[in-house]
Chains A and B, each alone.
Chain A
């Protein structure tokens, strides 16, 4: 027994279909390029081509053999890790101070780089490094990356501190804990998910940066993205890059899932 549907329900259904279509379209635009890169990494051909000419792992094998790309990946990993840790060490005390002070000025200054064009800042930094004789060193890269990612990490740390119930610290204090004990045993464990999210986010920012690194790095300490970019301009796309990209995509995808699952990190942005 069939009944004619009420007109309201028909339009609701239609609306829901349109909505679903748009959502899938958005997903497609975000995911298709990534999926394409991952697929092409398994291509047999010597050049970028789609559809695939046949499946093979040859580019992954060459990826392992090729020392130039491997060392640039190692550079990137080292740089991003050190910058993320350094930035956390700056951000946590800064965030605690920011939470205590009610002034908006300090926060505005610390967060200003969020909106500042990276290119202009990089140029200034390049000149500045020249003046103090720090140009081209790995240290200069580390410092630059730390400064670049700190506003973002700081924002996340401040946010996680604000989400914490301040009464917990008072409770610890009334139970006889001094400031340091309270920080170490109450505050730190409770903001740890925020710190992890901040660190991962900062790491990824540093790891994927091209602009800043292009400006201030010497060729010797070049990172993976910079290497890819400059080689792409001179010699075209190297298939080894695709293999690395596939691996990096996979790692970032897993990190995102972990971050979302354990720290609901989307709420920080």
Chain B
């Protein structure tokens, strides 16, 4: 049985549909990220589970018990706010003790719990400090300690890392994930940072305009996004996208993009002609080679090179149609701007989406016709 279950959740706020038909199940101990741009409804879902908003429709249950009508103080859920919401007039110790007192925990037990959670988040010795005497990272840890001291059935994190600087964010991200796994606490985190979601979550629910676009593991979302939005939102540097139209050329049906013709086939049948598609190619699936190496490929010119340290992001433009694209180069050879290069596409990793519905096309296979031709003529 899942720990948290959202069924058919909908909400309209001042005539605007904020959430539509949300279904979400979290298994015990699972870490789920709600990922989406601002205004996508992810925070509303979290606040609903926390008890700060009510759904117009649908049910929320925690460990088999329906909690949709309970006030926040009777839900047994830990909530970590974006700005931490530490009580400024109470010390670290008193902040953590607050919840324990509300739950009428015995004094001895309470003391032991405060000690243990402070130890877990590494803040032992700061018991008597007030929130404003702590750094941002320390405040964040107090907020987590305060929430987990009550041993909640569910932990909710509302953009917990967004107020920290980049370096600290990386570190705390790892710590939080380790802590979550150690405690085995079911966790829902809201974030707009896809990298954060990819590195921390067991599963990610991608939201846009109040609708869950896709739920899946980070790898699933990356390798087989359900639609254009997910493909574009997941992945950094972002995926290259090209609108195109299927046409018959010679004996095969295919799409013309990037100065080349990619054959498409669908099992035994014939792929439809005159259909609008969008082709997606991840930057790491664009391979570059120097012109003089004599390998085949599409001729292109380098516009700009962004060095990322171990890799470089190369912005190029095809020689024929001038189509722009972006390649992630890990090799020792990195072209300079203005260089002429040859590019090859790893077409088996390319993604195809319907032009009208933006949904992923699953039944169609893409082949590099040049390679296909070579294979055919070779046999």
| A177 near B77: Cβ-Cβ < 8 Å | no
Where the two chains meet, the residues of B that have a C-beta atom closer than 8 Å to any C-beta of A are 50-52, 71-75, 77-79, 81, 83, 85-89, 98-99, 102-103, 146-147, 150
Question: Which chain B positions have C-beta within 8 A of A174?
Answer: 50-51, 72-73, 75, 77-79, 147
| A190 near B78: Cβ-Cβ < 8 Å | no
Q: Beyond the given A173-B71, A176-B99, A181-B102, could you list 8 further A-B residue pairs with CB under 8 A, ordered by the A residue number? A: A167-B85, A168-B85, A170-B85, A172-B87, A173-B52, A174-B79, A175-B150, A178-B71
Contacts between the two chains (Cβ within 8 Å), count: 61
Complex CA–CA separation, A234 to B146 (angstroms): 68
- B156 nearest CB neighbor, chain A only: A174
Q: Which 3 A-B pairs give the minimum distances between C-beta atoms?
A: A175-B99, A176-B102, A171-B85
| A173 near B88: Cβ-Cβ < 8 Å | no
Contact check: which of B79, B89, B103 meets A171 at CB < 8 Å? Answer: B79
**Complex interface bits, A154-194 against B, C-beta within 8 A gives 1, otherwise 0:** 00000000000101101111111110010001100110000
- B52 nearest CB neighbor, chain A only: A170
Complex CA–CA separation, A186 to B95 (angstroms): 11
Complex CA–CA separation, A176 to B101 (angstroms): 9
Q: 16 A-B pairs, CB-CB below 8 angstroms?
A: A165-B85, A167-B81, A167-B85, A170-B50, A170-B52, A170-B72, A173-B52, A173-B71, A173-B72, A173-B73, A175-B73, A175-B98, A175-B102, A175-B146, A177-B98, A189-B89
| A172 near B77: Cβ-Cβ < 8 Å | no
Question: Which chain A positions have C-beta within 8 A of B51?
Answer: 173-174
Question: Which chain A positions have C-beta within 8 A of B87?
Answer: 168, 171-172, 186
| A176 near B85: Cβ-Cβ < 8 Å | no
- A190 nearest CB neighbor, chain B only: B89
| B77 near A167: Cβ-Cβ < 8 Å | no
Of A167, A171, A186, A189, the most chain B CB neighbours within 10 A belong to A171
Question: Which chain A positions have C-beta within 8 A of B150?
Answer: 175-176
Complex CA–CA separation, A107 to B218 (angstroms): 51
Complex CA–CA separation, A167 to B88 (angstroms): 12
| A170 near B73: Cβ-Cβ < 8 Å | no
Complex CA–CA separation, A48 to B65 (angstroms): 82
